[in-house]
Amino acid sequence: MAGRNDGRLEIGEVLRSTRARLDRDIYTAERETKIGRKYLEALENEDWDVLPAPAYVKGFLRTYAGYLGLDADALVDEYRRTIERSPAAEQPSSAPPDRGAAPLLGSGPGHHRGSRARGRGDRCGRAGRSPELVRQRRGCSPR
- Residue 134 in this model has a pLDDT that exceeds 60: no
Q: For the domain 4-86, what is the CATH code?
A: 1.10.260.40
Range 59-83 average pLDDT: 96
Q: What is the DSSP letter of 97?
A: P
Average pLDDT across the chain, whole number: 75
The closest alpha carbon to 61, from 23, 81, 35, 85, belongs to: 35
pLDDT greater than 50 at residue 10: yes
SS3 content of the chain, % helix, strand, coil (to 5): 50, 0, 50
Given a contact cutoff of 8 angstroms between Cβ atoms, the answer to whether 21 and 31 are in contact is no
Q: In the chain, where are the structural domains located?
A: 4-86, 116-143
